[in-house]
Amino acid sequence: MLDLLTLCDWTAIAQELGNNRSSARQWADRTIGNREHFNFGEVKKQFIYRVIDDLDRQLMA
């Protein structure tokens, strides 16, 4: 089950592999819907992207 901590982990990994301003959005774009484990419904996808957007805004502040 996906939770907020998982999304924070995705963001941390994106930053570690990229730079301090990297986002989990690119990983989510490539992964969600492409793997059986991450084949979420539309409501869950919207939630994921909303949280990623919020995390990105916090990191840019």
- Distance, in Å, from the CA atom of 48 to the CA atom of 16, rounded to the nearest integer, reads 20
Torsion angles phi and psi, residue 18, rounded to 5:
-110, -110
Domain map (residue ranges) of the chain: 4-60
What's the rounded Cα separation, in Å, for the pair 5 and 26? 18
pTM: predicted TM-score of the whole model, two decimal places: 0.75
Q: What is the pLDDT of residue 53?
A: 93
Q: In this structure, what is the dihedral angle of CA atoms 36, 42, 61, 20, given to the nearest 10 degrees?
A: 20
How confident is the model over 4-51, as pLDDT tens digits? 888 888 888 888 887 666 788 888 888 887 766 677 888 988 998 999
pLDDT at 1: 56
Provide the pLDDT for residue 9: 86
